Amino acid sequence: MTVYLKAFFVGGLFCVVGEALILKTKLTPARILVSYVVAGVLLSAAGLYGPLVRFAGAGATVPLTGFGHALAQGAIAAVQETGLLGAFTGGVSASSGAIAAAVFFGLITALLFRAKPKDT
């Protein structure tokens, strides 16, 4: 049960920081997304994000920093296996699930649904 509490608090905290950034700095959503992914890559490379994932599970992998973590760890692991080439293959392979899912479900959704105006 504690794993769920940890996921809730850590994940919620990531979101609060994002909301504070939006409200205080007027960063656009696209900039927030990019900052989170790049921050995830850097924190992961510095060895700080791995322990957080072990602590909070999905609370650390579901926020976009987790996507950055997957990219960085993938790149590092692949470099250990295949050398320099791994820097280019590792990141995307490790995060391919999320990328392919977003592209595929995006296309399918566009096929099945039409954008509807709200409250017009």
Partner 1 sequence: MQEKKENNAQNKFARERYAALVKRMTPKSAFGQGCFRAFWVGGLICVLGQALADGAHAWLGLSSAASLTFASVALIFLTAFLTGIGVFDRIARYAGAGTLVPTTGFANAMVAPAMEFKPEGWIMGTGVRLFSIAGPVLVYGISASAAVGILYYFIRW
Partner 2 sequence: MTRHRVGAHTIEFGNRPRIVSSAAVVGPKEGRGPLSALFDLALDDPLYGQSSYEQAECAIFQEACSRCLKKAKAEPEQVQAMLGGDLLNQIMAASLAARQLEIPFLGLYGACSTMAEALLLGAILADGGYADPVLCAAGSHYCTAERQYRFPLEYGNQRTPAAQWTVTGAGACLVSAEGPALARISLATVGQIKDMGIKDANNMGAAMAPAAADTLIHHFLDTGRKASDYDKIITGDLGRVGGSLLEELMEQAGFALPEEKHMDCGLCVFDPKEDVHAGGSGCGCSASVLSAMILPRLKSGEWKRVLFMATGALLSTTTSQQGESIPGVAHALVLEGGEGN
The two structure tokens encoding residue 89: 């293959």
CA–CA dist 37, 31 (Å, integer)? 10
**In the complex, minimum distance from the CB of residue 48 to partner 1, in angstroms, rounded to a whole number:** 13
Kindly state whether residue 106 participates in binding partner 1, applying the rule CB under 8 A.
yes
- In the block, tokens 């490379």 appear at 45
* Short-list 75, 79, 78, 49, CA closest to 64: 49
Asked if residue 110 binds partner 1 (CB under 8 A), the reply is: yes
Q: Which does 26 bind (CB under 5 to 8 A by kind): partner 1, partner 2, none?
A: partner 2
Nearer to partner 2, 54 or 116 (CB): 116
119: left (phi over 0), alpha (psi -120 to 50) or beta: left
The angle at the Cα of 39, spanning 34 to 40, to the nearest 5 degrees, equals: 100
- Taking the complex as a whole, the smallest distance from the CB of residue 117 to partner 2 amounts, in Å, to 5
26 binds partner 2 (CB under 8 A): yes
The 57-96 site mask, x for binding partner 2 (CB under 8 A), equals ----------------------------------------
Q: In the complex, which residues of this chain contact partner 2 (CB under 8 A)?
A: 22, 26, 29, 115-120
